[in-house]
Amino acid sequence: MAEELNQRGQDILEAIVEDYIASAEPVGSRSITRRHAMDLSPATVRNVMADLEDMGFLCSPHTSAGRIPTSKGFHYYIDTLLEVRDLSALEKQRLSKSYQFQGLQMEDVMQEVGRVLSGISSYTGLVMAPKFSSTVFRHIEFVKLSHGRLLVIFVSETGLVQNKVIEAEVDWSAQELERMTNYLNHTLPGMSIQEIRTRLADELQLEKARFDQLQEQAMSLSKAALMDEIEEKVFISGTSRMLEQPEFSTPGKMKKIFHTLESKEHLVKLLDQAQAADGVQIFIGSQTEHDAIEGCSLISSPFSGKKGAVGTLGVIGPVRMDYSHVIPIVDFTAQLVSRILKREAE
């Protein structure tokens, strides 16, 4: 960050951010001197607050004498002042027991992760399943719908199920589709979707004489089913938690945040960015590039399976989120889910 604050400025900014996180109310100089061990007069604190406002770290809402942190103020707090503690062994044990994964299909696991994240953090939990192209093939099935239309059911090694409707040039019988399914399920298991796409493209370029009609059509149907990217699956839990936050109590703000959560498009873009990085990422919605979640922050972390498939989980809440509480929860949960996926793959 270009601008540096002296120790007094840092102490007062930290106090304002933490008081605002706790109360959602503008913070005044007198309350700072009462609540925090600072050997400063209210007049001195007011002068520092005025300087912080001039520098863009604070702003004055309406005609209130108090101040609230700006996006810039929160960034400085997170990057410079925030101390993220490690969870204790007991906290990790309790968190692990909160997740009941045994006997669940992978989509149910994703929903369970979001539910627990929402419950523990008191915000909204998000989980984006691993990208389709990074998943590993376990099983494929073709189901006849009507003349020329087939439902393709794809199951990954982690148990995620993807469905897609494709158009077929031939009106295949159920028996022929079963034979093609058996051929593909014998040929492709253990390969990632990207590896399968490359293999299909290569083999279909070879002399057709190498294939009988069944093999050639099986490869063609697979290519139609797997070449295009399938929409990412995002599981959202605790949407109503947003209504409990005073920032979203007005109908206009409520409508905007619900639209963002329901459309998922902007969330997928943010979660994609988180997948590309290591560890916990924090996105503050007041930033220009994240204006779709204006007034919110997203704390996220990628998780991965044994064969490299990567997904993302996180928590979205107001900008005044309790970062010191949520960050270690998101970090530990990502590690926990990664261990479970790797164990399931063994």
In angstroms, the Cα distances linking 204 to 67, 167, 218, 224, 272 are 66, 18, 11, 12, 32
284 vs 232: CA distance, rounded Å: 22
Q: Rounded mean pLDDT of 183-188? A: 84
Burial of 331 (C-beta count, 10 Å sphere; 0-12/13-18/19+): middle
pLDDT band per the 50, 70, 90 thresholds, residue 117: very high
Among candidate residues 297, 337, 335, the one with its CA nearest the CA of residue 317: 297
User: What residues contact residue 42 under an 8 Å CB cut-off, 6+ apart?
Assistant: 29, 30, 32, 33
154 vs 54: CA distance, rounded Å: 57
- Residue 139's beta-bridge partner residues? 155
**19 versus 216: which is more confidently predicted?**
19
Most confident range, picked from 29-33, 217-221, 250-254: 29-33
300-333: pLDDT as tens digits: 999 887 666 678 999 999 999 999 999 999 999 9
346 vs 342: CA distance, rounded Å: 7
Strands 161-167 and 137-146: unpaired
Judge whether residue 125 has pLDDT over 90: yes
Cα(first)–Cα(last) distance of the chain, in Å? 45
Among candidate residues 197, 187, 192, the one with its CA nearest the CA of residue 306: 192
Burial of 186 (C-beta count, 10 Å sphere; 0-12/13-18/19+): exposed
Identify the pLDDT of residue 7.
Answer: 92
Domains of the chain: 7-81 (1.10.10.10), 89-131+232-345 (3.30.450.40), 133-226 (3.30.390.60)
CA atoms within 13 A on the CB side of 195: 13
Among candidate residues 301, 324, 297, the one with its CA nearest the CA of residue 311: 301
188 vs 156: CA distance, rounded Å: 11
Identify the pLDDT of residue 2.
Answer: 47
Encoded tokens for 325: 């509480």
Judge whether residue 194 has pLDDT over 80: no
Identify the pLDDT of residue 227.
Answer: 66
- Are 308 and 232 in contact, with CB atoms under 8 Å apart? no
Identify the pLDDT of residue 308.
Answer: 61
Residue 329: phi and psi, rounded to 5, are -65, -45
pLDDT band per the 50, 70, 90 thresholds, residue 152: confident
Task: Tell me the pLDDT of the chain averaged across its residues.
Answer: 82
Q: Rounded mean pLDDT of 325-342? A: 89
239 vs 118: CA distance, rounded Å: 9
User: What residues contact residue 248 under an 8 Å CB cut-off, 6+ apart?
Assistant: 242, 254, 257, 295, 318
pTM, two decimals, is 0.77
The torsion region of residue 167 among left (phi > 0), alpha (psi -120 to 50) and beta comes to beta
Percentage of the chain surpassing pLDDT 70? 87
